[in-house]
Structure 1
Amino acid sequence: MSIKNDIRLLRVNYLRGPNMWTYRPVLETWLDLGELEDWPSNRLPGFNHRLDKLLPALIEHHCGVGERGGFLQRLEEGTWAGHVLEHVVIELLNLAGMPTAFGQTRSTTQRGVYRMVFRARDEKVARCALAHGHRLLMAAINDTPFEVAAAVADIREQVDRCYLGPSTAAIVGAATDRHIPHIRLNEGNLVQLGHGARQRRIWTAQTDRTSAVAQGIAGDKDLTKRLIAGCGVPVPEGRVVATPAEAWEAAQDIGLPVVVKPTDANHGRGVMLDLRSQADVEAAFPVAAQQGSEVLVERYIPGDEHRLLVVGGQVVAAVRGETASVVADGRSTVRQLVDAQLNSDPRRGESEDHPLNRLVFEEDDVMLGEVTRQGLTPDAVPEAGRRVLILRNGNLAIDCTDQVHPEVEHVATLAARIVGLDIAGIDLVAQDIGRPLHQQGGAIVEVNAGPGLLPHLKPAAGKPRPVGRAIVDALFPEDADTAQVGRIPIVGVAGTRGTTRIARLVAWLGQLRGLRVGLACADGLYLDRRCLASGDARCFDLSHRLLVNRNVQAAVFENDARSVLRDGLAYDRCTIGVVTDIDGAEALAEFDVQSPEQMVKVLRTQVDVVLDDGVAVLNAADERVAALADLCDGEAILYAADPRTPALQAHRASGARGGRAVTLNNGRVVLATGSSETRLAPLSPSARGNLDDDVLLAAVATAWALDIPSDLIIAGIETFDAHHAAA
């Protein structure tokens, strides 16, 4: 077989919001197959076998067949290279740890040119996967070498760079389960949950309710102990020291054994436990000093270390720690024993998928200190049968939530309240978490802000706990009176006929209702009457700002077909979706949109994203627009100036009560539900003359859907032109 020329990637575009393909972000690629347009998979000798050998998991791709092996069946029948590339990229993403199921490939009006899309949570990862997928496909076609493992490793590196941390991801996942939208505000773990004035923000396991004062207190272990001890919480006696000699003096005063640790470090760094001699105490001082600003000596409390997660005044999860030790065989060094007996545990690793960390002497002075105290070094060979202690803490990964005694829970939540943390990791030492602390000499040793959630999400033993959901529920209490928690009313207006004027009028009516309304339209970006950015704001970057703005209580977006094709919508779902017409195909040749039928596929996006309790406002005078009502998850209100419009009449006659509609009768606006009609107060000639019928009716229908009173609608229309001129 002769060498085939590369598939050309003509255009690669990341659609960040809902689009004509799906609700979620996708990477859209325009492909020119060139000569491969004449070479479907069943005409390329050996291609299917080579591809299957490179990516054996392709057998799991159902494709359009709908069953395991479906894609391989399509390969044998003959499918084109664009479709194959779609599946190759998806499989590479799966192998790299970013599971992806959605993809589509469609031909264009140009021979050999296709539009291929696939689900893309992150643009950089998607582009990396596309580049490797392209090379893999051409290697399989031309029977040249390709290193799948290297490609997957490169994509996985991109995934690791862009992925949210496990704590943040758990919270975001729980918010998604409750249909609360999220917006990532930086490349790290700062995430907004909800929109506008109803948003909350998280940064890992800290929230916008976590005060800087509480964080500061929690960061000072000595201050924390003094505050909580004053309120009756049991803590170990201790004091801050400045030198190794002072540490030994304090240890003598407190009584051996003691603990030496930094006052402001975390994750157990620099903490030396059960110190019983002057040499051990003085040797522990520099280890602790290296990890914090001051060193604390405190009474050692026998027992296991526990971490209790307190969220919103309740203990929602608890884990217990274990010591880590090895048994010598008389031949291996301590380092080799650690690798063979501890690091070989599949639960240990360096990634976030591992509940236990690998134990490396060079990375942990506490480990080195423990071994040194036993008269050994990492490279020493202990006598056979000797048990060598490697680590006393740091293995907090055994779930014990169900064993926590109510009195222990009370003390833990009290400590969090005293410090002032809405989310806290309470570290305590107890021999039995199922008994009150005072009965066993247990105590709380630390209160931590921003605690990691991974031990509770993926414990080494026991069942995972839904701690992300607990945090989301604390931020957004479930309230039967709030249908869409975390969401502000959002109105999207799509089409070409009067959409800017409709959007501005609806925004004005919302302001009269007492809401601070953000508006993104062809005239600019506005909050109430203040212009935030001039020029066309029908683009993702500008309009998306409204959802981040804490002052915005409702938002109105004007969307043309070009912005939907170029960026996708700026919001995931909306309360009201307005479609005025399906005109404008003649201006969209660059997107291969050339007919009203194709325009319907684009503008239906506005209807697809209407919430279950939302409303689609549709122009009944265009039957293709009116037909979009069947695609709406919520209700539909149709409008037309002529009450005899067939689609309007059919809609009013539909359902048990009849559908809602807005029309005109002798120049007056009529709100109709089935056969019932309500005439609004007449408009003044000046107000009536300044608004086209379709603009007036679309705006009134939208205001009705937003439950704005009819008298306020009329007042708003009467004052709109004066407001519009001043803005």
Structure 2
Amino acid sequence: MPRFEDIRLLRATYLRGPSIWTYRPALEVWLALGELEHHPSNKVPGFNERLTAWLPDLVEHHCGVGERGGFIERLREGTWMGHVLEHVIIELLNLSGLPAKFGQTRETSVSGTYRMVFRCPEEAVARAALAQGHALIMAAINGEAFDLKGAVQAIKTTIDDNYLGPSTACIVDAAQERRIPQVRLNDGNLVQLGYGAAQRRIWTAETDQTSAIAEGIAQDKDLTKRLLAAAGVPVPEGQIVASADEAWEAAQDIGLPVTVKPSDGNHARGVTLELYKEKNIRAAFPLAEKEGSEVIVERFIEGTEHRLLVVGGKVVAACRGEQVFVTGDGQRTLKALVDELNRDPRRGVEEEYPLELLDLNLPNIQLELARQEVAADTVPAAGRKVLLQRNGNMAIDCTDELHPDVAYHAELAVRVVGLDIAGLDMILKDIAQPMRAQGGAILEVNAGPGLLMHLKPSSGSPRPVGQAIVEHLFPGSGEKGSHAGRIPIIGVAGTRGTAFIARLVGWLLQLSGKLTGIASSEGMFIAGRQTQKTDTAHWAGAHRLLTNRLAEAAVIQTTARSILDEGLAYDRCQVGIVTDMDGWEQLADHDVRGPEQMPRVLRTQIDVVLDGGAGVLNADIPAVAELAELCDGEVLLYALSADNAALTQHRAQPEARAVFVHGDQICLATGAKERVLGRLAALHPADGSPPDTAALLAAIAGAWALGIAPDLIAAGIKTFEYQH
């Protein structure tokens, strides 16, 4: 059959925040079907069969039908290829381990051109999925071969390269469950939870409360042991040594067997356990020396390695290690036995795997094998167990077995070091028994501990360690109605006087006692001081403001173009103000062809109002006033006349608030009750600049919605200097 020309991808725009499509980040793709506009899915021979053979789980896509098999039904009936591409991308993301559901495809005013969008939290991953999905659908259309496994692996690689590590991700996910906003601050694992002055920062399992001094102490294992011993915490006797000769001398002084390890290493690298012989102790010294600045020889403690996680002074999880053995069968070599062990689905090279792959060439394993006088090509006798690793295999949850005495010593040790979050390595025969009675000891106290062992144990229950850390950072954030991590955010959308509105609301907030930041078309302001003169009424400007730790409140001016180009920089706001529906003439590149399309754009500002917040709407413009039904919070209307029909209907509700001009006075109304704020002629900024009356009303309504007292509003307007 003749080959169809490729679907053309005209442009792809990553929307970083709430947009006309969804509350979450998404990739919007403009595509032209070309000749495929006349060939829906049921008109391309063999297409549906090839597609469903490659992606059988498309049957799970409900699509608009609303039930399992819905999308398959649409394929058979005939649907356009832009819609099919949307579902192909979503399924590729699912196969790559990234659950995806949301997508939409809409035809534009140009025949054959569509806007297709799908949700994805990382731009690089979204673009990789788009590229692979595009290649797959064209191969299915034209009956060509396609490497599905390679496509999925390419997306997985992009996920691994760009996503947060599992420890950071579990904290971020826990914060999201509590509706605490998140801002990724770099390409790694530095994440801001919350906005402005209410924010906290995490970097893997370290927080902005983690003491640098405490972290330095934890890195120095000899110093840590001395401090713990002074506080009565059981630790193994040990000595710092500078050479293999000193290591052997120290071992004889301490008493065999001993452990040799680096003084400041991590992840069990360079640690060799239960050494009896001089040659093994000497061989262990360079392994430890390579992993740290000094080497410690310490008394070997009999028992099993345990890892306890302490958050905010309390043990929240515990797991037990397991030694790694292979059992000979008299036929296969040690290497073959290890290769079989590495096929365990828990083992892998990525961070998502709780256990690492075993490499017989690693020095620690080589030393362990030498002690047993075996090598990779040895064929162990049937039933013979060969020990490969003694430590670093934390995989068995034992939190429910924890004895109070063990918990006490763990919590005491962390307090002595001074960490807010710590992982403790302990040697215990039985975690359910008191510590001293069994001769147990704490080996190390670690800052920034890995959390994967508690999230994905090989046996036992996963532990909600992310929730524990978020609760530590934001106490009470799990309670209903909590606004943890949030500052008052006021969004101002439209074209009429919006810069003035933003500046005046910011000034009134500042007078009310909150250090306020403003991002507007006239620049950025912090506490009344202009810090940037260029236009900041866009995503990047708002983002800079929301990451500023000084800001106790933020006023952010937004345009329709910014919403279409980037999305909002914040997930929710306390007050959303919409002034008008103007400006559609400049948005033809977004297929906005008339004023009737503007409500779909500017509703975004009202869609994000918190249920305890308020939407402020211009009742003199019917399309703006009609957005009231979309607001989850309270609605305040403003109008130039008390006789406005929408205002009158609104005030029929006893608690409904409104701001309007009555004669020569500005009035605040709650239902039928009215209060005069002042004469319009008297409510002028201190610099004498004549305000636009509608803009002044919008600012007054926004400030009133924030709970600012009317008297302060009136006084604040008179002292406000708009010119700068």
* Matching residue of 2:279: 279
The residue matched to 1:544 in structure 2 has which SS?
Answer: helix
* Matching residue of 1:95: 95
* Matching residue of 1:57: 57
* Matching residue of 2:665: 668
TM superposition shift of 1:108: 0.8
Letter in 2 for 1:292: G
TM superposition shift of 1:500: 1.1
**Conserved in 1, the CA contact under 8 Å of 2:683 and 2:714?**
no
Give the distance between the partners of 1:139 and 1:384, measured in 2 at CA: 52
Give the distance between the partners of 1:675 and 1:374, measured in 2 at CA: 90
TM superposition shift of 1:290: 1.7
TM superposition shift of 1:250: 0.8
Give the distance between the partners of 1:185 and 1:549, measured in 2 at CA: 12
Alignment of 1:501-650 (within 5 A): 501-650=500-649
Give the distance between the partners of 2:530 and 2:49, measured in 1 at CA: 60
Letter in 1 for 2:86: E
Letter in 2 for 1:21: W
Give the distance between the partners of 1:629 and 1:275, measured in 2 at CA: 75
The answer to whether structure 1 residue 67 and structure 2 residue 74 are counterparts is no
Give the distance between the partners of 1:152 and 1:325, measured in 2 at CA: 34
Letter in 2 for 1:636: V
Give the distance between the partners of 1:684 and 1:561, measured in 2 at CA: 32
Give the distance between the partners of 1:46 and 1:25, measured in 2 at CA: 35
Alignment match of 1:678 (pick from 672, 675, 691): 675
The residue matched to 2:344 in structure 1 has which SS?
Answer: coil
* Matching residue of 2:354: 355
TM superposition shift of 1:343: 2.1
* Matching residue of 1:388: 386
Percent identity over the alignment?
60
Give the distance between the partners of 2:581 and 2:423, measured in 1 at CA: 55
**Conserved in 1, the CA contact under 8 Å of 2:304 and 2:428?**
yes
The residue matched to 2:369 in structure 1 has which SS?
Answer: helix
The residue matched to 1:309 in structure 2 has which SS?
Answer: strand
Letter in 1 for 2:553: A
TM superposition shift of 1:262: 0.7
CA deviations 1:308-351 (Å, max 9, x no partner) are 000000000000011111221222222222222x3232222223
* Matching residue of 2:428: 430
Letter in 1 for 2:349: E
TM superposition shift of 1:693: 2.1
Give the distance between the partners of 2:247 and 2:719, measured in 1 at CA: 77
- Return 375-384 or 220-229, whichever deviates more: 375-384
**Conserved in 1, the CA contact under 8 Å of 2:496 and 2:580?**
yes
**Conserved in 2, the CA contact under 8 Å of 1:13 and 1:27?**
yes
**Conserved in 2, the CA contact under 8 Å of 1:670 and 1:680?**
yes
- Return 418-427 or 477-486, whichever deviates more: 477-486
Distance 1:686 1:631, change over 3 A: closer
**Conserved in 1, the CA contact under 8 Å of 2:61 and 2:71?**
yes
TM superposition shift of 1:481: 11
TM superposition shift of 1:664: 2.0
The residue matched to 2:265 in structure 1 has which SS?
Answer: coil
* Matching residue of 1:339: 339
Give the distance between the partners of 1:339 and 1:5, measured in 2 at CA: 47
CA deviations 1:180-226 (Å, max 9, x no partner) are 00000111100000001110100000011112111111011101000
**Conserved in 2, the CA contact under 8 Å of 1:368 and 1:378?**
no
The residue matched to 1:187 in structure 2 has which SS?
Answer: coil
Letter in 1 for 2:637: L
Give the distance between the partners of 1:348 and 1:280, measured in 2 at CA: 28
CA deviations 1:544-575 (Å, max 9, x no partner) are 10011111111111111111111111111101
* Matching residue of 1:18: 18
The residue matched to 1:352 in structure 2 has which SS?
Answer: coil
The answer to whether structure 1 residue 444 and structure 2 residue 442 are counterparts is yes
TM superposition shift of 1:407: 1.2
TM superposition shift of 1:692: 2.2
TM superposition shift of 1:684: 5.3
Give the distance between the partners of 1:561 and 1:344, measured in 2 at CA: 53
CA deviations 1:464-513 (Å, max 9, x no partner) are 00000100000011167984110111000111111111111111111111
TM superposition shift of 1:533: 2.2
Letter in 2 for 1:207: T
Give the distance between the partners of 1:556 and 1:631, measured in 2 at CA: 21
Letter in 2 for 1:249: E
Letter in 2 for 1:269: R
TM superposition shift of 1:683: 5.5
Letter in 1 for 2:602: L
Give the distance between the partners of 2:556 and 2:336, measured in 1 at CA: 63
* Matching residue of 1:463: 461
- Return 572-581 or 482-491, whichever deviates more: 482-491
Give the distance between the partners of 1:678 and 1:652, measured in 2 at CA: 14
Give the distance between the partners of 2:700 and 2:329, measured in 1 at CA: 84
The residue matched to 2:394 in structure 1 has which SS?
Answer: coil
* Matching residue of 1:703: 703
The residue matched to 2:109 in structure 1 has which SS?
Answer: coil
* Matching residue of 2:651: 652
Give the distance between the partners of 2:255 and 2:226, measured in 1 at CA: 19
Give the distance between the partners of 1:385 and 1:22, measured in 2 at CA: 60
TM superposition shift of 1:11: 1.5
Give the distance between the partners of 1:120 and 1:266, measured in 2 at CA: 34
* Matching residue of 1:320: 320
**Conserved in 2, the CA contact under 8 Å of 1:683 and 1:718?**
no
**Conserved in 2, the CA contact under 8 Å of 1:684 and 1:718?**
no
**Conserved in 2, the CA contact under 8 Å of 1:97 and 1:159?**
no
CA deviations 1:100-141 (Å, max 9, x no partner) are 111101011111111111102111111111112112111111
* Matching residue of 1:294: 294
Give the distance between the partners of 1:513 and 1:577, measured in 2 at CA: 19
Count how many residue pairs are aligned between Structure 1 and Structure 2.
720
Give the distance between the partners of 2:713 and 2:655, measured in 1 at CA: 23
The answer to whether structure 1 residue 118 and structure 2 residue 104 are counterparts is no
The residue matched to 1:296 in structure 2 has which SS?
Answer: strand
* Matching residue of 1:230: 230
TM superposition shift of 1:531: 2.3
CA deviations 1:24-43 (Å, max 9, x no partner) are 11111111111111111111
Give the distance between the partners of 2:363 and 2:651, measured in 1 at CA: 76
Cα RMSD for the two superposed structures: 1.5
**Conserved in 1, the CA contact under 8 Å of 2:538 and 2:559?**
no
The residue matched to 1:724 in structure 2 has which SS?
Answer: coil
Alignment of 1:361-400 (within 5 A): 361-362=360-361, 364-400=362-398
* Matching residue of 1:2: 2
**Conserved in 2, the CA contact under 8 Å of 1:190 and 1:204?**
yes
Distance 1:651 1:683, change over 3 A: closer
The answer to whether structure 1 residue 687 and structure 2 residue 689 are counterparts is no
* Matching residue of 1:240: 240
Alignment of 1:26-175 (within 5 A): 26-175=26-175
**Conserved in 2, the CA contact under 8 Å of 1:525 and 1:543?**
no
Letter in 2 for 1:159: I
The residue matched to 1:687 in structure 2 has which SS?
Answer: coil
**Conserved in 2, the CA contact under 8 Å of 1:681 and 1:711?**
no
TM superposition shift of 1:686: 6.6
Letter in 2 for 1:474: H
**Conserved in 2, the CA contact under 8 Å of 1:18 and 1:24?**
yes
**Conserved in 2, the CA contact under 8 Å of 1:505 and 1:717?**
yes
TM superposition shift of 1:296: 0.4
Distance 1:352 1:481, change over 3 A: closer
The residue matched to 1:397 in structure 2 has which SS?
Answer: strand
Give the distance between the partners of 2:503 and 2:481, measured in 1 at CA: 27
* Matching residue of 1:262: 262
**Conserved in 1, the CA contact under 8 Å of 2:664 and 2:681?**
no
Letter in 1 for 2:535: D
* Matching residue of 1:472: 470
Give the distance between the partners of 2:2 and 2:386, measured in 1 at CA: 65
Using the size of structure 1 for normalisation, the TM-score is 0.97
CA deviations 1:235-278 (Å, max 9, x no partner) are 01111011111111111111111111111111111111111122
Letter in 1 for 2:579: T
- Return 234-243 or 133-142, whichever deviates more: 133-142
Give the distance between the partners of 1:543 and 1:148, measured in 2 at CA: 40
